[in-house]
Every structure is written in structure tokens, then in C-alpha cells.
Amino acid sequence: MTETDFRPLADRLRPRVLNDYVGQDHILSEGKPLRQAIESDHLHSMIFWGPPGTGKTTLASLIAELSNSYIERISAVLSGVKDIRAAVERAQYNQSGGRRTILFVDEVHRFNKAQQDAFLPYVEDGTITFIGATTENPSFELNNALLSRARVYVIKRLDDPALKLILDRALADDELGLGNKNIQLSKSQQSKLFMAADGDGRRLLNLLELLNDLATDKSEVSDQMLSDVLKQSHRTFDKGGEQFYDQISALHKSVRGSDPDASLYWFCRMIDGGCDPLYIARRVLRMASEDIGNADPRALQIALDAWQTQERLGSPEGELAIAQAIIYLSCAAKSNAVYTAFNAAMKDVKQSRSNEVPLHLRNAPTKLMKELDYGKAYRYAHDEPEGYAADENYFPDDKKHVKYYKPVERGLEIKIKQKLAHLKSLDADRRKK
């Protein structure tokens, strides 16, 4: 490494040939379409979708270099339509000279619809070969017109063998790597580095560079030195991105699936990643109604208590109450009967006319209302046998009785189902009289 090369280690070690690129064998191994496209120089517009530090920018740069293309780099965080137009003008100039231009857009999901649309004519006519990089699901963040013109490649998180290759290359490359220092890491220390990197190659190299700065020449890395460096590391967790929604989905489905251990794992993953515990508490409250309902009504109260505990005590005390609620909900009897009934009733209401309230169900606080028969013939349930007005109609007169709520044979809903069946028999008995 030269004295004037102040680039980060991750940038200095970017591979220059395709065979040095680490990971993503599912799209780059021999015979795969993307590799064939690169090697045959038949490029197409594409979108790389994957977590940070997995090689999306590096792969775009490699493609440009191997195809002898001019590459225009734009960051959607810093650029706008003006920058896009300027890049296109340079691409048109290159095209007139017989050279292809690859327009690489990092964080492309941050462009709005109008900005994304600005690419389309030039992708369509071949002025640019578009390569976008995103950490977010393209299905949600990119417009259909752009997606229809570019192929999406999923870039996966780097596994430990891939991280080991990157680490070994950094330690072995005296020119671009760590200079003259002979950094030595035990297998245990390497494992800790890989865990802290969490599938992110750039993070791995950044941590290694920090260790290099702290180490003396020809020094072994002490466990204390490694511990100090790793304290600055954070887990991968995007509070507003797809990982966030994937993990809350995993938590919800683990609770629904009655697996308290998996539920607790996903809860701790989200907390460890920096998720607001109050958000999780709100979702747990939703789970209590959606997946348990009247099979165990205590679940709703326990979830609400956990939310209030978090609000009053904060972390970490409140998180224990949320964990308690999650475990209780996981072990509770399950029923989506309330959730299903609510959705069915709401759908029915939206698709039906606004039926009038029957006269016998209307309130009659004034003399005029009584004269108009408001409340007439209403049967007061408490005065009826068993406190139930058998065969009474509570739906609008011109609407058929609809059964939305269908209790399941689990938990308290077993008794609820028996009670409703008994009331139905009383209705039938009254109709016979």
C-alpha cells in the first residue's frame, strides 16, 4: 500500500477479475445466465437486490471493466433528475464514439417514480445499460416500468466461508491489504469477527482495519483488543426496510404456530437490532386478537399490560414483560374466529346497501318517536327465560341473518360454541310454537 493511498481497506481490495469475486455462486458460477452474459459481452439492464456489504457495487464495477464500458455512478441519496440528464448526455456522447455506457445507480429505491421514469427512454433505446443496486424489495420500491426493462438478481448475505476468503486475501495482500503488519487471528477470533460482520464483507474489512490500526508491528491480536473493536459493531437491522418486516412477520407466525422458543428468538433479534419495543408491543396486541381471540381472552389483557409496562418502565424492564406476553400468546389456544368474523362483517357492510335500523330496535326518547313506533314490540332480554329473547331479529328487516362468527373447538370458544348452539335451539323451539 502506498503512503498516499488513503482509501478504506474494503475499497482497496475490490476484485479486478471475475474469479476473485467472492460469493453469489447462484448467479455467477459457470453456466449461469449472468456469467454467460458478462463473458459473452451481451449485457442487459439489471437490478442487484441484497443486503449491504455483499458486493453489489463491486459487481457493477467488474461488469463495466470486463466489458470495456464507461461507467457513470449516481447515488440516489445525493442525485436528482438534473444529474440523470447530465449522465445521459455523457452516455450519448460515448455512444456516438462507439463506446457503451453503464449507468450504475446506488440505492435506486430512494428515487421517486418521476426520477425512475427518467431512465426509461434511454434504457429502451440502448443509450445506457442500467444497473441499479438496492437493499429494498424491488417489487415494492421500484415502478413496474423500470422492473419490466431490467432483470432482478438477488444478492445473498455472505456466509462464513466467503468471509474467510475475504479475510485471508486481506491478510495476505501486502500491497493493498494491511501493509507490513503481520496480523494474526486465532480460529476463535476469526469466528467472532465473522459473527460481528453478520454477512457483510465491507463490515468485516472495516473491523479488520480497526484492529490493524490498534495493533503494533508483527503483533498478535489480543482478545481484549478484539472485544474493544467489536463493541462498536452493530447487527444488521433496517428499521424501515424489508428486513424489519420480514422479522416481525417471523415473530407473528411463530406465535401463531405456538412455538414460544422461535417467537422469543425473533423478539430478541429485533430488540438486538434496535427495534422500538413499543412497536413490537403494539403488534403483540394485534396477535392477541387476530390469532387467539376468544379462545383465551386473557391474552389480550396480558398483551395490553405488557405494552403499558414498557411505556411506564422503559427498557430493559419493559422488554421482559413483552417477552412474557409473547410466550403466553405462543402457548395459548389459537382461534382466528374473531378476526375472520370481523373481516366478513366488514366486507358485507361495504358491499351492502345502508339498511334501516328496525323500528323495534330504535331508541324512543321523545313522544313523537313513540308515536312513530320507535321501540315498539322490543323484547327486553332480561325479562325473557334464560335472559334470552328467543328468535328475536336484530338485523335490518330487509336483510337475511348472516353468521359471521364461527367459534373453533379450542379454548374458551368450545364453551362459547356450545352456548350459541343452545341459543339456536331455543330459537327453533319458539318458532315451533
Where residue 146 sits, what CATH number does that domain have? 3.40.50.300
Please indicate, yes or no, if residue 96 is contained in any of the structural domains: yes
In a domain, 344, yes or no: no
Do residues 130 and 36 share a domain? yes
**Residue 218: inside a domain:** yes
Return the number of other C-beta atoms located less than 10 Å from residue 193's C-beta.
24
pLDDT of 163 strictly over 90 = yes
Q: At 182, is the pLDDT very low, low, confident or very high (cuts 50, 70, 90)?
A: low
> What would the mean pLDDT of 266-289 be, rounded to a whole number?
90
Give the SS3 label for residue 258: coil
DSSP letters along 260-314, please? Answer: HHHHHHHHHHHHHTT--HHHHHHHHHHHIIIIIGGG-THHHHHHHHHHHHHHHH-
Q: 255 and 203, same structural domain?
A: no
Residue 3 pLDDT exceeds 50: no
In which domain, by residue range, is 58 found?
A: 24-154
What pLDDT is attached to residue 174? 63
| Better pLDDT: 178 or 184 | 184
Is the residue at 339 inside a domain?
A: no
Instruction: Note whether residue 380 is domain-resident.
Output: yes
Whether residue 39 has pLDDT greater than 50: yes
What mean pLDDT, rounded, does the chain reach? 86
Residues 6 or more apart whose CB falls under 8 angstroms from that of 409 comprise 417
Q: Are 300 and 224 in contact (CB under 8 A)?
A: no
Grid coordinates in use for 263?
417467537
- Fill in the DSSP letter of residue 101: E
**Does the residue 237 lie in any domain?**
no
Q: Give yes or no: residues 91 and 213 share one domain.
A: no
Q: Is the pLDDT of residue 216 over 70?
A: no
Q: What is the pLDDT of residue 242?
A: 57
- In angstroms, how far is CA 35 from the centroid of its own chain? 29
Count of domains for the chain: 4
Number of helices and strands in the chain (H, E): 21, 5
State mean pLDDT over 195-200: 86
Alpha carbon distance 277, 315 (integer Å): 8
C-alpha cell at 312: 411506564
Q: Measured between alpha carbons, how far is 38 from 111 in angstroms, rounded to an integer? A: 27
pLDDT score for 176: 57
Instruction: Tell me the average pLDDT across 198-210.
Output: 87
The verdict on residue 129 lying in a domain is yes
